[in-house]
Amino acid sequence: MAVRDILRMGDPRLLQMAQAVEAFATPELHELVADLIDTMRANDGAGLAAPQIGVNLQVVVFGSEGNPRYPDAEPVPLTVLINPVLTALSEELEEAWEGCLSVPGLRGKVPRHGHLHYTGFDQHGQALTREVAGFHARVVQHETDHLWGILYPRRIRDLRYFGFTDAVVSEHIEAAPENNSK
Ligand code: NI
């Protein structure tokens, strides 16, 4: 278990399509998941995807339960999600501010589906299926985007709503995935 370096926007490894995990419950997969959780927590993140630490596999972790940086966000249970499949349950998109540990110091207002269904597996190969809304839905969409090589600035529709965290009006950033102070 270790806190790993996080790749930053501009690194071409963040633009790759991640590969599906084929072997579960292996020592390598357990180590990857432990490193993702350690690295997410060390950075006060709400989520982290394997490509962000240079591992090109479809593995994400997220969760914001008890995170002092999200006092107003609905709690999201600590989740390991592998080979995810997302299905939108609402056509309309909701705009809210997001941050990303690979885009430090910045925030942007990003449209996301407000309600969705997702499936995948945990590190033991146990199937997971959930229907979620709000902040939980936003975090899942942000993290799985990393697996398709998409960083949130590509989703911003109006670049007037993209800026430095310490310049953006504070009430707009209360629920930002991967929010951190850097
Ligand atoms: Ni991110």
What gap in Å lies between CA 133 and CA 135, rounded to an integer? 7
Residue 45 contacts residue 6 (beta carbons within 8 Å): no
Number of domains in the chain: 1
How far does residue 101's CA lie from ligand 1's centre (Å)?
6
Q: Is residue 1 part of a domain?
A: no
Q: Is residue 37 part of a domain?
A: yes
| Residue 83 confidence (pLDDT) | 98
Residue with tokens 């839905």, as numbered in its chain: 137
45-84 burial by CB neighbour count: b if 16+ within 10 A, else e?
bbbbbbbbbebebbbbbbbbeebeebeebeebeebbbbbb
Q: Is residue 73 part of a domain?
A: yes
Query: 63 lies in which domain range?
Result: 12-174
Quote the Cα angle for 162-165-167, to 5°: 85
How far does residue 1's CA lie from ligand 1's centre (Å)?
21
Whether 120 has a pLDDT exceeding 80, the answer reads: yes
Q: Is residue 155 part of a domain?
A: yes
Q: Is residue 3 part of a domain?
A: no
Q: Is residue 46 part of a domain?
A: yes
Over residues 8-63, the pLDDT tens digits come to 999 999 999 999 999 999 999 999 999 999 999 999 999 999 999 999 999 999 99
Exactly one of 65, 143, 174, 178 is catalytic; name it: 143
Report which of 94, 110, 178, 92 is spatially closest to residue 143, judged by C-alpha positions: 178
CATH code assigned at 52 = 3.90.45.10
Residue 94, CA atoms < 13 Å, CB-side half-sphere: 19
Quick one: pLDDT band at residue 142, thresholds 50, 70, 90?
very high
**Which stretches of the chain are assigned E, i.e. beta strand?**
47-49, 59-62, 79-88, 93-98, 106-113, 115-121, 127-133, 162-164
pTM of the model: 0.91
- Catalytic site residue 143? yes
| Residue 96 confidence (pLDDT) | 95
Report residue 135 as tokens: 């902040």
Q: Is residue 41 part of a domain?
A: yes
Q: Is residue 180 part of a domain?
A: no
How far does residue 178's CA lie from ligand 1's centre (Å)?
6
Beta-bridge partners for 35? none
Over residues 88-114, the pLDDT tens digits come to 999 989 999 999 999 999 999 999 999
What residue type is 137 in one-letter code?
A
